[in-house]
Every structure is written in structure tokens, then in C-alpha cells.
């Protein structure tokens, strides 16, 4: 299930304009009678950040959006699909997940729900299971969760290594992931490997040396867990700088469990995203608002660990760009549901339904530095989900209900 990103910031030169008289191929497909369409293009529809169009239609030509507008103005095509009054949103963009792993951590979750605090060290349990698993078992597990996410409207995902922590195991994790998405992140610096428990500096040398050389060909990004119990600011800087020298762009697990240097380092290094952002100073918020780094919030982690919720309202009011993602992993956020994260963000993080839907689509695209996904506008990739509801607001209004009725990815109906 390759999400196939082209990593382009501009639509093709042949993109049809968003006008009612645009010429589209007869063999294209038009989806009509969409009650409310979220385009994430403010130049369309009601002019809001969501670019809402009522009684809308979308024309898909190949793997691209060719036209959007009102159903009454839709061009003729050979293929038609009647949305029957459903709402439509761009395919969700899950910009932070950990899907190459084996085993689960049910016992840890049960203990945590019985009062034990969450700590970074639980990752070691998954490391042991992942190292023992075959390539076939790891790939089967990965594709299982990708199918699960697709059923819930996720059409683009990022995923990381980080549960191998040896040169061989990190490289194989990325090789397996790269067969399914181009948004692959090298996270050899998830925690200090148990093999180097008494030599953290030696492990940083491994991560920035032989492990990086083996992993870089499979990855687009490099990440580090900058946190007490994982890597400090100096170690994180060394790891991300080494990755950048090999052509990998940085992103950071930052300020999840406590205040720390992660957010400031992310902005300084022009990281695409600082992920978690739970414990922020005013200076951290100002840095995110003034820089290009997206604050990616992961409410599934706070839900699963009973931790303090990130303050999305504070970030948004300051002018920071916010993304939502699942953080799907077996330890601290075992959910693949972007709709669930939207509902949590609205209920517990101070976001409006409009803001949460934008952050789960266009915000995730921004966290991956992409403009060809996360929106339904001419030239964008034809990724969208029809909801069994008349409005996108139902994603928060009806939490836990499987509202995604149909999904198109790269122009193909896949559900």
C-alpha cells in the first residue's frame, strides 16, 4: 500500500484551473451531491481556511483532482459517483507513526491504567520482540495497521524505525517501511540501545556513523527522542546534524514528558515538525509561531498515558501551525484512527472542529512539507474520504462512530 508521495510543492503545469468551464477528460470521474466539501483551499467556496463548498462536486482525472465546484456546474464525464448527501474531506495525513514492530505492551498498559506512570524505558520491551521477529512478520504487522488506517480515511502516512536499535535491525525496518511509503523516518535515536546501556556516547557514535550509513538510503527524515531517559539536547543536535549531512531532514520528538530543549532545537535546525509539544514555555510557543516548524500534537498518547493534554489553543492563538497525528505505536498510543484524534483534540485540547480537521489533513501535509496532499483542489493528489454524515463536524460530534464510508487514494476508490 504505497502512498507514493512525489515530494513536490507545486502542482503540475497542466493543472486545470478551479473554474466551472474547465476542460476535463471524458474518462474522468465526477463525484456529485457532496453535502459539504472540505477543500482546505481558502480561494474556494466560503473563503474560510477550510474552503467549504456546499452541494459540491469533485472531478478526478487519473491520480489528480481536475475540478471542484458546485454540483450544478460540474462538467460531464463518463463516470459518475453519487455521494448522496455525504460530506467529503481530504484524505487524512498521518505524519507520525511507529508501525514496524512486533508484539504488544498490553501488560504495560494495564499497569499504567492501574496507576503506574508512563516512562520512555518501556520501549525496550518492543525492541526485544522486534529483533526476534522475521521480516515477513514485521511486514504483515505493518500492512495490517495500514489497512486499518485506510478504512478510517488515512491516505498518507509517515512511519519510523526505532524498535531495532542495531544497524541490521534499523536498516531492515526502514527497508520494509519504504516498500509502503516514501515518508520514512530513521529513528535509531529512539532510546539508547540496551546493548549500550553503559555507553550512551558510544551509541550516539553508532547512530551517527555506521547505522546512519546503512539507513539513509531508505529514509527521507531523521528523528530523535529528545527527552529525559532518552537523548539530551547536545546528543540530539549531534544526531540531527549528522543526518542532515547525509541528506535527511530533521523532525524531533520534543517536550513530551517534561520541559526540555527539543522545541528550540527543532526551530533552530528548521525541523519539519516538533512532535508532542506537551510541555512548552512561552519562548517555545513564540519560537514555533515565528519559525517554519510545525507543532504536531498526538492526543492518542495523552489519552493512553493519562498525561497532561497539549494546549492546542495556546499554539493556534500564537500563530503556530498545528498538525494532528496518531503516534500509532504499541506502547503509548495504540490507535490508527485519525477521526478519534480529531475528536480528542476538540474535546480536550481546545480546538474547534474546523481547526482539528484542518490539522489532521493540511496540517499533516505541512508537517511533511507537502502541498500535493491534505487538500481537495485542482492539481492536488486525488485523496479524499466520504463521511456517512452531512458535515465534517460529525467527526468530533459523533466520536467513536465509523463515519468513513468511501475512500479514494491517488484517484482510485479503495474502499
Give the Cα separation of 309 and 166 in Å (integer).
33
Write the pLDDT tens digit of every residue in 319-350.
999 999 999 999 999 999 999 999 999 999 99
CB 51 within 8 A of CB 366: no
Say whether pLDDT at 360 is over 50: yes
CB 171 within 8 A of CB 215: yes
Residue 123: predicted pLDDT: 87
43 to 53, 98, 223, 362, 378: CA distances (angstroms): 11, 35, 35, 15, 12
Say whether pLDDT at 394 is over 90: yes
Say whether pLDDT at 6 is over 50: no
Which residues, 6+ apart, have CB-to-CB distance to 204 below 8 Å?
189, 231, 235, 238, 239
Q: Is-above-0.85 flag for pTM?
A: yes
Which residues, 6+ apart, have CB-to-CB distance to 352 below 8 Å?
346
Residues 228-243, buried b or exposed e (16+ Cβ, 10 A)?
Answer: eebbeeebbbbbbebb
Percent of the chain with pLDDT over 70: 93
Give the Cα separation of 212 and 232 in Å (integer).
19
Write the pLDDT tens digit of every residue in 244-295.
999 999 999 999 999 999 999 999 999 999 999 999 999 999 999 999 999 9
Q: How many CB atoms sit inside 10 A of residue 4's CB?
A: 13
- Average pLDDT (203-215) is 98
- In terms of Cα–Cα distance, which of 57, 78, 80, 73 is closest to 20? 73
Residue 14: predicted pLDDT: 30
User: Could you give phi then psi for residue 361, rounded to 5 degrees?
Assistant: -125, -80
> Which residues are 412's β-sheet partners?
409
356 to 289, 328, 359, 374, 400: CA distances (angstroms): 18, 18, 5, 13, 16
Q: How many CB atoms sit inside 10 A of residue 225's CB?
A: 24
Write the pLDDT tens digit of every residue in 9-35.
333 333 333 343 356 787 899 999 999
Which residues, 6+ apart, have CB-to-CB distance to 211 below 8 Å?
166, 167, 170, 171, 188
Which residues, 6+ apart, have CB-to-CB distance to 110 below 8 Å?
none
Polymer length in residues for the chain: 415
Using alpha carbons only, how large is the chain's radius of gyration in Å?
A: 21
- Average pLDDT (378-387) is 98
117 to 49, 105, 109, 114, 331: CA distances (angstroms): 39, 14, 10, 9, 13
Amino acid at each position: 500500500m504505497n502512498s507514493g508521495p512525489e515530494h513536490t510543492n507545486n502542482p503540475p503545469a497542466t493543472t486545470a484551473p478551479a473554474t466551472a468551464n474547465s476542460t476535463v477528460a471524458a474518462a474522468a470521474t465526477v463525484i456529485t451531491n457532496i453535502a459539504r466539501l472540505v477543500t482546505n483551499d481558502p480561494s474556494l467556496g466560503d473563503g474560510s481556511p477550510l474552503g467549504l463548498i456546499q452541494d459540491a462536486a469533485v472531478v478526478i482525472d487519473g491520480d489528480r483532482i481536475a475540478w471542484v465546484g458546485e454540483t450544478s456546474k460540474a462538467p460531464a464525464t463518463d463516470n459518475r459517483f453519487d455521494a448522496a448527501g455525504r460530506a467529503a474531506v481530504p484524505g487524512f495525513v498521518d505524519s507520525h507513526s511507529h508501525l514496524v514492530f512486533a508484539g504488544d505492551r498490553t501488560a504495560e498498559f494495564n499497569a499504567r491504567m492501574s496507576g503506574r506512570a508512563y516512562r520512555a524505558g518501556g520501549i525496550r520491551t518492543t525492541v526485544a520482540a522486534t529483533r526476534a521477529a522475521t521480516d515477513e512478520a514485521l511486514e504483515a504487522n505493518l500492512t495490517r495497521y495500514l489497512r486499518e488506517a485506510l478504512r478510517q480515511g488515512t491516505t498518507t502516512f509517515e512511519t519510523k524505525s526505532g524498535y531495532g536499535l542495531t544497524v541490521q535491525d534499523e536498516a531492515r525496518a526502514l527497508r520494509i517501511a519504504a516498500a509502503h511509503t516514501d515518508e520514512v523516518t530513521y529513528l535509531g535515536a529512539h532510546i539508547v540501545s540496551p546493548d549500550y546501556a553503559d555507553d550512551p556516547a558510544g551509541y550516539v557514535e553508532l547512530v551517527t556513523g555506521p547505522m546512519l550509513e546503512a539507513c539513509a538510503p531508505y529514509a527521507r527524515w531523521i528523528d530523535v527522542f529528545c527527552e529525559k531517559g532518552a537523548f539530551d539536547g547536545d546528543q540530539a543536535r549531534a544526531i540531527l546534524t549528522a543526518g542532515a549531512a547525509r541528506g535527511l531532514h530533521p523532525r524531533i520528538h520534543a517536550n513530551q514528558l517534561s520541559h526540555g530543549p527539543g522545541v528550540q532545537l527543532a526551530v533552530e535546525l528548521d525541523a519539519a515538525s516538533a512532535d508532542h509539544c506537551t510541555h512548552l514555555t512561552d519562548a517555545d510557543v513564540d519560537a514555533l509561531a515565528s519559525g517554519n516548524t510545525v507543532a504536531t500534537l498526538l492526543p492518542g498518547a495523552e489519552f493512553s498515558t493519562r498525561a497532561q493534554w497539549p494546549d492546542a489553543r495556546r499554539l493556534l492563538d500564537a500563530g503556530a501551525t498545528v498538525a494532528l497525528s496518531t503516534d500509532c505505536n504499541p506502547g503509548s498510543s495504540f490507535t490508527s484512527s485519525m477521526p478519534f484524534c480529531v475528536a480528542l483534540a476538540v474535546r480536550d485540547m481546545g480546538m474547534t472542529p474546523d481547526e482539528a480537521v484542518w490539522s489532521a489533513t493540511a496540517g499533516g501535509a505541512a508537517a511533511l512539507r507537502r502541498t500535493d496532499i491534505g487538500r481537495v483542489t485542482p492539481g492536488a493528489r486525488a485523496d479524499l474520504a466520504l463521511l456517512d454524515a452531512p458535515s465534517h463536524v460529525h467527526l468530533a460530534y459523533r466520536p467513536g462512530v465509523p463515519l468513513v464510508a468511501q475512500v479514494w487514494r491517488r484517484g482510485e476508490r479503495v474502499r
